[in-house]
Structure 1
């Protein structure tokens, strides 16, 4: 069956023009980042290049290949740059665009009809290269930012890479004829049709990524404490759900942290100073916990650290690090108002234990440590009596594990 590539190229060109305008309009309102401008401009330029190829084959425009082919190269570079910018807004695209300009330079000077097949081969390899860049960046987005639609974008661009390379091979062997458009029934025509189909499908793929990113941002804001950036109880519920199934940790350690004399700080220096202290504590705790666990603001001046597969001895080290750094950070502010310390309670349990029960055990252990901080701790099962840091008092170090 012969394919009418002229019609397909016109559809592809018009589709890319529509996609370009759709991305540029929201950009003008400030709703999208610079990636939308790159994506829109890239599709506009590539779409004009596709339409120019049709006009050249129909009415003969000697200058069309010299302008259209380099424009297509730059259009694909802008599209790839848009995905890079979407992934990393601070990324610089100077080297990518300069490379595209250099790659398009030979096409600017080569318009001999006898070299048609070589131009098609060269251009197809360049397209495959920029599509491969998009695949790599989309996979990183899917893994790093948990954007599941990143896998869709990667698939849409990955499919065209072998298609472009296959068409480049056929063109290099001079097996695609002497025109891009017209009716063709060879394998190269079917490859071209496949490329056009996926180019149209993926024209709006970044909008899907943006929608998922926006949804994730809203969900994250719902699950975060606005003052400290720590998770709130809604965030804790979602974290607890991840501990079920095949990815469940072997053990689960929970640490309760309470700021001592925090009410005194609020009463003497004001609530603004209290808010600043909470933010300072959260920053220190986030840094100490890192990727090992999650920080949750339980309420007021109480925080919870959930540490999957972190043994109690390591949790003790993390707790002491938090308390020490916090005391050091607050010492200049509390010079004439006493010491602001941290009481800590730690328990370790099985991952299938309700997390609320582990938090309750850690809370009892924390209050036990707070009340016994001036004398050696007495360990009463099933409560795990943790280590507590107060700069000017006794630090108990006796431990027992929850039953």
Structure 2
């Protein structure tokens, strides 16, 4: 299984889009194979020139191999999927027109393959590109048929070539219009999917973040604590909880208004986050109260982080509220004991916070 997985990764890569492009290439290989077999059968029946037919088959095989390498290296060469699709379509159209030239009375069969090329383009090209490709195909096919009629009217009667051209034109235009509508539907579905993903990301953000401070909200913090409780029990690392309450926040609202209170909360959030370690999680616990999770931090390190927070919060400018206003907070720190629910740790941190506030505020106390 491991060897098969490595071979698959080597051939298809790890990018799902690349694997899908190689899947399309494999489907075209099958079509080239069928077309080549038909050419060989006509050679055996004496309806096609052997040298010209074998040259065409060789060109088809070389093209298939070349496009396999181009698709596999498209990321390195920075070739877009749509550009690759155009190249492959033009090559396939040229091969089909070549088969039309070198084969005999059954040459009209190869016009059907042109329709298949257009259908494949619906999966990778925009409608206007497909229309341009259809116009190019008809131009190449018409020029080829005129050349055949001019060079050998007996083998290529004008009436027969005219019927072939009109039939191919009607079929190609019809398929192009249908594939254009399919492409539009595919693009609309893709846009709807992207819009849905954006909406889900917004909902997820609203469900996990506090709108005012952009910190984790209480619901998300409870989920983090449950996950951390499981990890802590498995790893046995020290973890601390700090419960933080802004000092005299009610007086800010009473004196300057609720808009000023919101500005204070945002300033606290911005300053506090700059003092945290990468693994710390700060959440708005309610009103002007915040909960800080410090994974892997013993009490002395937790106190150091909270002190750094206090310094940066106190230095945060609040010129939009009042030039002389400064933010301070009181905090209670508790280390989670082995097997202790975080709810109990938070209760002990809350008691330490009450002690800090009753001691004059702007204090840090440990449980």
TM-score, length-scaled by structure 1 = 0.46
Q: Higher helix proportion, which one?
A: 2
TM-score by length of 2: 0.50
Larger Rg: 2
